[in-house]
């Protein structure tokens, strides 16, 4: 991927704007090539290299494949949108690949320094992508907010890592895990470090009380970039949490379990309740993301292999749901018009019944209505906390899910029961229409027969946790 990014950067200098499709084609070829290589080199056990700083295990391989596919789908959805807004440039594609490179580094790191390097490469790429539309005040404002808050979160995370280093004398995840398990580390310093690390992790996931950037960035960034921020990076952030808390600091599970339980409840509550008041659908989906991250954290709070694998399944399903929602918004947007408000979706069924059906699948799945994948994902993470007898947490999550169903069903109501506000023709590229249809129908298929993906998640998590 590094070689491909460098080649695309150099070739793009000599490609005119009229032939920018070559850059797009090379980017998609890179993603396809990396996916094929990842599948071909898939191993059922962990392999360490670069002095133990880089690990290739089933968890990293599965998530990388998911991230390649997600990034490819995002680029297909984005093409028409960025062409209409003058963003169809080499910078967009190279920044997307640099962000993906950072994510790859995050999911394959077995050392705190390489984890942090991957996180910063991802973050800096996303800041640049958000601000790419330089004449947009809202985009530059969002980029600035994200940058300032991201720098603060990175500082918290780095400070926490420095405390862990001071307590254990190492930044290698396996060595830190051993020191924590043997109680040879400074307990007080270790717990303080854990608090700062959890704060940094919650920011990257978008969990309360470090959520304030999510709705602002989702609303202010160009829709194509919002989708980029809300898709593959969530998978990388999940693995980031697993690497640090589960593999590195599992000896402190009693401490981080209680912290994450509070974050999960607050995220579900604030995300679902605040989303009800939103009239901007991108902002509404931003608050929805906060609530979904709360549900995802339930699997981590469970502290069991089944819990972790259910959280991984939830992360993959969330990315699929998010891509469908924003894909429809991108399909309905055109030159000079962004589909951003709830009223823009009114009467969509009478304009195009197929897109209305795809949006319905996405909203029902996010609400957790059977037989869609979102229902099984929520059921799996709630079951994982029931298994460890945290019944109060399960009850709260079910209640929050019921509250969240209101604003998802409101979108469906606008689509099917309200009068049309905009009768303009919906023009969508054939490749986008095909991928969007497959993406949405996958939610239905995974809801009916989730066993294969669940088995993959269970096996990947099992092999990766036992390999440490």
Write out pLDDT tens, residues 300-313.
999 899 999 999 99
pLDDT grade for 465, boundaries at 50, 70 and 90: confident
pLDDT exceeds 60 at position 468: no
Angle, helices 232-241/223-230, rounded to nearest 10 degrees:
30
Going by C-alpha positions, the residue among 397, 348, 346 that lies closest to residue 368 is: 397
Q: Where do the structural domains in the chain lie, given as residue ranges?
A: 2-42+55-466
pLDDT grade for 124, boundaries at 50, 70 and 90: very high
pLDDT grade for 32, boundaries at 50, 70 and 90: very high
pLDDT exceeds 70 at position 392: yes
| Tally of residues, the chain | 468
pTM of the full predicted structure? Answer: 0.94
The answer to whether 381 touches 401, Cβ cutoff 8 Å, is no
pLDDT grade for 466, boundaries at 50, 70 and 90: confident
Going by C-alpha positions, the residue among 300, 303, 324 that lies closest to residue 314 is: 300
Write out pLDDT tens, residues 249-282.
988 898 899 999 999 999 999 999 999 999 999 9
């Amino acid at each position: 991927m590094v070689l491909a990014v460098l080649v695309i950067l150099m070739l793009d200098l000599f490609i005119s704007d009229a032939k920018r499709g070559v850059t797009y084609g090379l980017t998609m070829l890179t993603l396809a090539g990396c996916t094929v290589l990842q599948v071909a080199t898939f191993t059922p056990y962990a392999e360490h290299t670069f002095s133990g700083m880089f690990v290739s295990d089933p968890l990293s391989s599965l998530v990388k494949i998911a991230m390649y596919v997600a990034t490819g789908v995002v680029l297909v959805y984005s093409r028409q949108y960025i062409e209409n807004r003058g963003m169809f440039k080499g910078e967009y594609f190279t920044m997307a690949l640099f962000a993906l490179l950072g994510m790859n580094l995050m999911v394959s790191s077995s050392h705190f320094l390489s984890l942090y390097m991957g996180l910063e490469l991802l973050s800096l790429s996303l800041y640049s992508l958000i601000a790419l539309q330089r004449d947009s005040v809202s985009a530059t404002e969002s980029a600035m907010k994200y940058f300032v808050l991201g720098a603060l979160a990175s500082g918290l995370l780095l400070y926490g890592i420095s405390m862990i280093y001071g307590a254990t004398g190492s930044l290698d995840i396996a060595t830190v895990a051993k020191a924590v398990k043997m109680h040879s580390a400074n307990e007080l310093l270790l717990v303080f470090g854990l608090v700062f690390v959890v704060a940094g992790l919650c920011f990257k996931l978008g969990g309360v009380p470090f959520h304030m950037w999510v709705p602002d960035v989702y609303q202010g960034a160009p829709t194509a970039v919002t989708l980029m921020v809300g898709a593959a990076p969530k998978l990388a952030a999940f693995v980031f949490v697993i690497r640090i808390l589960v593999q590195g600091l599992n000896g402190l599970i009693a401490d981080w379990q209680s912290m994450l339980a509070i974050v999960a409840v607050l995220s579900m509550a604030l995300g679902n309740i605040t989303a009800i008041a939103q009239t901007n659908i991108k902002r509404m989906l931003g608050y929805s993301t906060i609530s979904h991250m709360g549900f995802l954290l339930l699997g981590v709070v469970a502290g069991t292999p089944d819990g972790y694998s259910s959280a991984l399944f939830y992360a993959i399903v969330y990315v699929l749901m998010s891509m469908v929602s924003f894909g429809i918004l991108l399909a309905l947007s055109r030159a000079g018009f962004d589909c951003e408000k709830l009223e823009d979706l009114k009467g969509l069924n009478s304009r195009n019944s197929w897109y209305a059906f795809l949006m319905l699948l996405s909203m029902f799945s996010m609400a957790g209505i059977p037989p869609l994948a979102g229902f099984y994902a929520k059921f799996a993470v709630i079951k994982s906390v029931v298994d460890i007898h945290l019944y109060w947490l399960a009850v709260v999550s079910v209640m929050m899910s019921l509250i969240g169903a209101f604003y998802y069903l409101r979108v469906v109501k606008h689509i099917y029961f309200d009068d049309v506000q905009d009768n303009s023709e919906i023009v969508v590229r054939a490749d986008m229409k095909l991928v969007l249809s497959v993406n949405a129908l996958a939610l239905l298929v995974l809801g009916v027969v989730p066993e294969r993906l669940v088995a993959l998640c269970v096996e990947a998590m099992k092999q990766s946790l036992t390999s440490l």
